[in-house]
Structures are given as C-alpha cells and as structure tokens.
Amino acid sequence: MSSRSSLAFATRARAATPGATPAVRSLSSSASSSRRGGAVGAGARRGGGGKNAAFSSVLFSSSHSHRHQQHQHRMGRRGGENRGSIGRGFRGKMTTMASLSSSSSTMQQNPDGFAQIDLFSPSKINLFLRIVRRREDGYHDLASLFHVIDLGDEMSFAKSSSETKDTLVCEDASIPLDESNLVIKALNLFRAKTGIKQYFWVELKKTVPSGAGLGGGSGNAATALYAANKLCGDVATEEELLEWSGDIGSDISVFFSTGAAYCTGRGEIVEDVEPPLPLTTKMCLVKPSIGLSTPTIFKALDLDKRSKAEPLDLLKSLNADGCTYENAINDLERPAFSKLPELGELKDKLIDATKEDGAVVFMSGSGSTIVLLGTDTVPKFAMEDDDLFKSKARLISRKKGEWFVPSNV
Ligand code: C5P
C-alpha cells in the first residue's frame, strides 16, 4: 500500500515491518479548528429516535451492574472512585489511581519483601473500523484506527515465591481467575518466550466492562506483559512484547503502540500514528448492561453490507477534518444492531440527544459501547437509566519506555 509511507512505523507479530517515513503531521490544529467550525458533528446522521426498549436478550454473560454504580460517580469527576487497596488476598497495597496518574509505573517493596509494581491498565476505542476480508482461518482482516483511552483498571504485580502457578486476585466475581483469563495467558506467554521460570501475584481492580468493544481484557494482558518484563529486569524489548502478544489475542498489540495506531491484519499489525485528534477532545462512553460476544458479531457480519470507504481515506479524513460522521465508520455496527436492536435504538437516541453538542456518536469495536466524541455531557435520559454504564473518558498516549497513565485533562 503506497500510503503506508505516511505512517510512522509498523510492527506485526513475529515479522517486523521496516520503518517508514514519519510523515503524518500533527493534526491538533486542523482538527481543533474544524471542531470549532462544527466538523466533529458534521456529516450524515442516522435519523429516528426509536424506543429505548429494555435490553432483554442476553448475548454475553455480563454482570457488571455494580460497576455501573461506580461510573455514575466518575461522570462527576476525573479519575475514578474507590481508590484504596483491594485488600483481599494480595500482600501488597495497591497504589491509588491518583498516584498512578503522575507516574507510569511505581516500583516498591511489598510487605513480603518482593518488588511490586502498580500500573494503570487502559482500554481502547476504534475511531473507525473497516473489515477488509474474511480469512480462511476464521478471522477477519481489518483496517482500523485504534486509540488508547483512559477508562482503565488498576493492577498490581509482584514476583511470587510459587514455583508452579500465578495468583490472580480480583473482587469482581464475573472475572475468571484461571488460565482462561488473558492475564494468566500473558504471564504463561512471557515465561514461554523468555524461558524465565518466574510466577507472579496479580491484583486486578476492574472498571472496564466486559463485552464492551473496549479491549479491557486485552489491556490487562498487555499490562501484565509489561509488568512481568519490568519485574524481571527488562529482559525483552517492547517490540518483542508487541510481537509476542499477537499469539494470545488480536487486540493486545495496540497497547504497545504509543496510543494512536493504524492496525491491520487481525488487528495485530500495529503502525504508530500521531494522535489524529487533540488529547483534550471531550468524550463519553455509554453501554447497555448487555455485552456483545466478538465472535458472534464477526460471524453475523454480511460482507455485502459493509462500507465501501477506503480505510486510508478514512484516516486522511480523520487527520484533516477531525472526527465526522463520514469517517466514524464501524462495519460491525450493522451486525451488532441486528443481534441487539436495542443498541441501534440507543445509538439513535444518543445522536438525537447530542445534536446540540456537535458530538459524533459511534460504536466501538464489536460493541456494545457507544462512544460520544466531542461532549462530556451524557444525555439526561441515559443519566437516569441505571442499566446503562456511563463514563467520561479521554484519548491518551505514552512515551516509548513508559506505560500509560490516566489523562490529567
Ligand atoms: O483474537 P481474539 O481472541 O481477540 O478474537 C476473538 C474472536 O473474534 C476470534 O475467535 C474471531 O472469531 C473474532 N475475530 C475475527 N477477526 C479479527 C479479530 C477477532 O474474526 N480480526
């Protein structure tokens, strides 16, 4: 692809693509000027309001309603609530989100004398998501602008004295703590790739909902790889961690980008780009309590009904005009709304309710999160609906060698 030369660099699992000219200009100025001119909200909008029917069909076993409560708070202030130590089963004391926001990783000694590291585990949105083709192996090649965001979990890691297993602690009963958890898969991967026979204590405090299209579990896995590597003395490079991460999931690699990444292949080919929007861009997330299963949504995609837009044209448009309804395209919206019609109705209602704010409203990943880009105000109908998860969020980036921290915007 000729326009690849406009991207800073590409790294894929196992086969690093040689670096290309870092020619993507910083678009902060053009994006913000177009936002002033209303471009964030420009373009075609879906019509209709639709009833916000009860979300009755269960497509994903999601039980995070208690987390919804937590997020009602976050709407009022930045950085999350309930910041103390999780306290159950973990030997250290978790660093609070507030202190995580000032440093990317805090290494300290825990009461058992082991080094402990506390990290913020971010999530992501897809500013556009085009599905390119269905592959023989059942996966889909995609082309998407992923952006890391500061809705995230808190994680603490320490070396364990166990010679047989990792210990994962999480108060959220819906989170599996065994080998099916991507965190344990990531630690197994780290041992297999490095040959280091070190097991770990991990404490996870979940905030990011599951089945949301936000890559919360993938962010946990990436954070675990980063932490294990730090605790073991940086035996691997970040490029190696990125390459290895493709073995256990398609969405993990993006967390080894610097924040904004044009991703292709299954999602594991990551090209860092300049953030196309100012990191100060206002954003809210709204999600029904029902999550969506990624394989189900990919299977339900009718390839004849995809957008015909060229992904690299979408990237150009995003860079030049900011986020608009013309470029905020997600090919997975149609199958997600066919599986969960209430989600399409929720999107319509959110579009109607945010017209005045000039927000652009779209689904992230395979859903069921709806992103409201360009506003910090969740519409009243959504604020009053206790079944909806609501959170403010911000786009974030990081410097190579440091880990992500929540936005201070
Ligand atoms: O790779 P990951 O485990 O995140 O993918 C979960 C599922 O989502 C896959 O088993 C596949 O069904 C679907 N998927 C896909 N194409 C992708 C990514 C995921 O079909 N690019």
Q: Ligand 1: which of 141, 220, 255, 298 to mutate, most ligand atoms within 8 Å of CB?
A: 298
Q: How far is the CA of 221 from the centre of ligand 1 (A)?
A: 16
Mean pLDDT of the chain: 81
- As to burial, measured by CB atoms within 10 angstroms (0-12 exposed, 13-18 middle, 19+ buried), residue 407 is buried
Q: Provide, rounded to the nearest whole percent, the portion of the chain with pLDDT above 70.
A: 74
3-state secondary structure of 336: helix
Check whether 17 has a pLDDT greater than 60: no
Written as one string, the DSSP assignment of 179-203 is TTSHHHHHHHHHHHHH-----EEEE
**DSSP state at residue 404:** -
Q: Assign 34 a pLDDT band (cuts: 50, 70, 90).
A: very low
Phi/psi of residue 90, nearest 5 degrees: -95, 145
Q: How far is the CA of 103 from the centre of ligand 1 (A)?
A: 33
What is the atom index within ligand 1 of the atom nearest the CA of 141?
21
User: Which pLDDT belongs to residue 348?
Assistant: 98
What is the atom index within ligand 1 of the atom nearest the CA of 252?
4
Please count the helices (runs of H) and the strands (runs of E) in the chain. 11, 12
Taking CA atoms only, the protein residue closest to ligand 1 atom 10 is 295
> 73 vs 326, which has greater pLDDT?
326
**Within 10 A of 400 (CB to CB), how many other CB atoms are there?**
10
Question: Cβ(290)–Cβ(114) under 8 Å?
Answer: no
3-state secondary structure of 408: coil
Q: What is the dihedral of CA 301, 303, 305, 307, to 10 degrees?
A: 100
User: Which pLDDT belongs to residue 110?
Assistant: 79
User: Which pLDDT belongs to residue 109?
Assistant: 81
Query: What is the model's pTM?
Result: 0.82
Q: How far apart are CA 22 and CA 277, in angstroms?
A: 17
Sheet with 283-288, strands from edge to edge, namely 360-363, 370-373, 283-288, 388-392
Check whether 53 has a pLDDT greater than 60: no
Q: Assign 73 a pLDDT band (cuts: 50, 70, 90).
A: very low
Angle, CA 223 vertex, CA 221 and CA 227 arms, to 5°: 115
* Ligand 1 pocket, residues with Cβ under 6 angstroms: 138-140, 142, 249-251, 266-267, 294-295, 298
Q: How far apart are CA 354 and CA 373, in angstroms?
A: 10
User: Which pLDDT belongs to residue 102?
Assistant: 57
Check whether 91 has a pLDDT greater than 50: no
User: Which pLDDT belongs to residue 12?
Assistant: 57
Q: How far is the CA of 250 from the centre of ligand 1 (A)?
A: 6
User: Which pLDDT belongs to residue 115?
Assistant: 86
Mean pLDDT to the nearest integer, 325-354: 98
User: Which pLDDT belongs to residue 36?
Assistant: 30
Q: How far is the CA of 343 from the centre of ligand 1 (A)?
A: 21
List Cα–Cα distances, 119 to 80, 153, 217, 363, 402, in angstroms: 15, 9, 14, 27, 11
Phi/psi of residue 118, nearest 5 degrees: -110, 125
Q: Assign 27 a pLDDT band (cuts: 50, 70, 90).
A: very low
User: Which pLDDT belongs to residue 78?
Assistant: 31
Check whether 249 has a pLDDT greater than 60: yes
Q: Assign 26 a pLDDT band (cuts: 50, 70, 90).
A: very low
> 82 vs 204, which has greater pLDDT?
204
Mean pLDDT to the nearest integer, 236-242: 98
User: Which pLDDT belongs to residue 101?
Assistant: 57
- Residue 143 pairs in a beta bridge with 130
Check whether 30 has a pLDDT greater than 60: no
Pick from 14-23, 58-67, 109-118, 336-345: least confident: 14-23
Task: Give residues with Cβ within 8 angstroms of 13, minimum separation 6.
Answer: 242, 243, 244, 245, 246, 247, 253, 265, 268, 269
**Within 10 A of 84 (CB to CB), how many other CB atoms are there?**
9
User: Which pLDDT belongs to residue 409?
Assistant: 85
Record the tokens describing residue 218, joined without a space: 């993938």
Taking CA atoms only, the protein residue closest to ligand 1 atom 11 is 295
Q: Assign 71 a pLDDT band (cuts: 50, 70, 90).
A: very low
User: Which pLDDT belongs to residue 303?
Assistant: 97
Pick from 87-91, 153-157, 198-202: least confident: 87-91
> 68 vs 134, which has greater pLDDT?
134
Taking CA atoms only, the protein residue closest to ligand 1 atom 8 is 295
List, for residues 252-278, the tens digit of each pLDDT value: 999 999 999 999 999 999 999 999 999
User: Which pLDDT belongs to residue 81?
Assistant: 29
Check whether 379 has a pLDDT greater than 90: yes
List, for residues 119-171, the tens digit of each pLDDT value: 999 999 999 999 999 999 999 999 999 999 999 999 999 999 999 999 999 99
List, for residues 205-216, the tens digit of each pLDDT value: 999 999 999 999
Q: Assign 104 a pLDDT band (cuts: 50, 70, 90).
A: low
User: Which pLDDT belongs to residue 52?
Assistant: 25
Q: Assign 111 a pLDDT band (cuts: 50, 70, 90).
A: confident
> Which residue, chain included where needed, has tokens 């080998």?
179
Check whether 57 has a pLDDT greater than 70: no
What is the atom index within ligand 1 of the atom nearest the CA of 249?
1
